[in-house]
Amino acid sequence: MRVLVLHGPNLNLLGKREPEVYGRTTLDDINDLLSRRAKELGIELTIIQTNHEGIMVDTIQQAHANFACIIINPAAFTHYSIAVRDALAAINVPAVEVHLSNIYRREEFRQHSVISPVAVGQIAGFGATGYLLALEAAYALIRGA
């Protein structure tokens, strides 16, 4: 059972970046949490962070046939990247969208996700825990639950 975790732009700065919004947990901490839980569930994780839209599109395209599910925090791409949305729509791999913050109680420009219509579902507002919830959701999806 293989799952791809895709972190978008600026998430490499977690822990230092606007801690009042995103918390003090670093991306390495999140990846460790995910890796530990994945091991318990028997899931093989591939984790990628990129600041580049094209790399995110390439990575999604290549996920086709290689992964049973994608957990994606598209970060700022959430709000405007039709390219990332189209890549997700083009492949036959279910996606779980994650946001650390509750984007619906933030600035107006963050309150719309162009990704959500092509995701199975979205988890937002639970910080690092949201990634663990997304992993549980991915596990359930893969098992057909």
Active site (catalytic) residues:
22, 99
The pair phi, psi for residue 114, each rounded to 5°, is: -80, -10
Sequence letter at residue 34? L
Q: Is 52 annotated as a binding residue?
A: no
> Which residue's CB is nearer to ligand DQA, number 67 or number 131?
131
Going by C-alpha positions, the residue among 98, 89, 86 that lies closest to residue 34 is 98
User: C-beta of 16: minimal distance to ligand DQA in Å?
Assistant: 13
Interface with ligand DQA, residue 75, by CB under 6 A: yes
Instruction: Give the one residue of 25, 49, 50, 73 binding ligand DQA; rule: CB under 6 A.
Output: 73
Interface with ligand DQA, residue 5, by CB under 6 A: no
Check if the beta carbon of residue 77 is closer than 8 Å to that of residue 103: no
Check if the beta carbon of residue 30 is closer than 8 Å to that of residue 38: no
Q: Is 116 annotated as a binding residue?
A: no
- Could you tell me how far CA 8 lies from the centroid of its own chain? 8
Residues 6 or more apart in contact with residue 26 via CB below 8 angstroms: 14, 15
Beta bridge pairs of residue 69: 3
Residues of this chain, 84-143, that bind ligand DQA according to CB under 6 A: 99-101, 103, 110
The interface region with ligand DQA, picked from 32-40, 58-66, 75-83, 136-144 by CB under 6 A, is 75-83
- Annotated binding-site residue numbers for substrate: 73, 79, 86, 100-101, 110
Question: Footprint of ligand DQA on this chain (CB under 6 A)?
Answer: 10, 73, 75-76, 78, 99-101, 103, 110
